[in-house]
Each structure stands twice: as C-alpha cells, then as structure tokens.
Structure 1
C-alpha cells in the first residue's frame, strides 16, 4: 500500500495525555509527523473528536482532531492554529 502522507512519520513509543474539557487520559504515541500522529488508548470511546495531545517527555502540546479509529489505535491530524 502506498503511503500518501505529505510528511513522513517517525515510529516512537512515548507516553502522552489526551486532554479535553478538564479531563485527562493517558495514551502512547506510536508514530508522529509534522501533520499528525497515531496513538494507542485503553478505550477510544472516551476520546473526543477534538482535543489536546500533551507529550509527557517535554510537555509539547498539539491541538488535534480524530481522523480514524482502528481498535485501540487512533489516527490524529494536528490542527494549525
């Protein structure tokens, strides 16, 4: 399958947090690029369509929107802004 992404993704395994409306849920970032990421969560049903992704290592914050969900993995696009 051809990868049609504009930006190459880097495979990582980094702790992060889904933050929205005062609630926070831990997740693991599996890959990341300048335009988005894929994360693993315990229960995708609790992840809102738009949220902030906070990387634990350096507290980098990305505003995100959900693009796809496959089992416990969620594909995200970073929102410019």
Structure 2
C-alpha cells in the first residue's frame, strides 16, 4: 500500500480520538505523515466516509477521509482545509 502514498509515513504509537455524528472514540495512530494516518480501533466499527481526528499530543483537529478499512484498522488521508 505504501507505493501509492505520496509521502512515507512514520511509525508511531499515539493516542487519539476520532469523532463525528455526535460521538467520539479513543483510538491509536500507528503511522502518520502530513497527508494521512493509519489508525487502530479497539473494536471493528463501521466508519463514516469523513470524520475528524485529534491526537492527544498536539490537540490539532484534522479532517479525515476514509481510504481503506480492514478488521480494526483503517487508513485515512487528511483533507485540506
């Protein structure tokens, strides 16, 4: 999958929250770049095509678009504001 990315992602282990539709869920970011991220959820979950994510470390809210999902992992690209 990395061959389709414009920018390589760094392997990380960061706590984050995804939210939209009035609720939020804690998750873990396992890789990230300025263009997108890989996210691991605690349980398999149907994801909306777009939602927001906030890392606990920087508290920046990023608009996300779902690109792929597999079991409890999803891949997103960050939408430009």
CA contact 2:17–2:25 (8 Å) conserved in 1: yes
CA contact 2:29–2:39 (8 Å) conserved in 1: yes
Aligned to 2:75: 75
Structure 1 unaligned blocks of 5 or more = none
The alignment's TM-score, normalised by the length of structure 2, stands at 0.89
Count of aligned pairs: 81
Q: Is 1:47–2:44 an aligned residue pair?
A: no
- Distance (Å, rounded) in 2 between the aligned partners of 1:2 and 1:63: 21
Q: Is 1:9–2:9 an aligned residue pair?
A: yes
Structure 1 segments of 4 or more deviating over 6 A? none
CA contact 2:2–2:8 (8 Å) conserved in 1: no
SS of alignment partner, residue 45 of structure 1: coil
Shift of 1:3: 2.1
Aligned to 1:30: 30
The alignment's TM-score, normalised by the length of structure 1, stands at 0.89
**Cα–Cα, structure 1 residues 4 and 20, in superposed 2: closer, same or farther, change >3 Å?**
same
SS of alignment partner, residue 66 of structure 1: strand
Alpha-carbon displacement from aligned partner over 1:5-54 (angstroms, at most 9, x marks no partner): 11110100000000102200010000001110000002342432110010
